[in-house]
Amino acid sequence: MTPEAKSQAIAAAAILLVAGLVIYFLPALVLWIAQFSPTLAVVVGAALLLGFFAIFWLRARYQRRKER
């Protein structure tokens, strides 16, 4: 395995681990925030879920720019 492939695998594993933890604790977090403001709970939940996809989108943009 090349050093570049190894670093990409480690980065992807770290992102998936953090995203998995966020998604695991998301229901409890949203319910706790909803006690104060239901609207804020929806915003936080949506932001955390969209953040998962945004990380991979940003990483793909970085990789495409790096290849040029």
What does each of the 68 residues of the chain score in pLDDT, given as a tens digit? 788 788 888 988 998 898 889 889 999 999 999 999 999 999 999 999 898 889 889 888 888 887 76
Q: How far is the C-alpha of 29 from the C-alpha of 2, rounded, in Å?
A: 40
For the question of whether the overall pTM of this predicted structure is more than 0.75, the answer is no
Write down the residue that tokens 């239901």 correspond to: 38
> What is the Cα 48 distance to its own chain's centre?
7
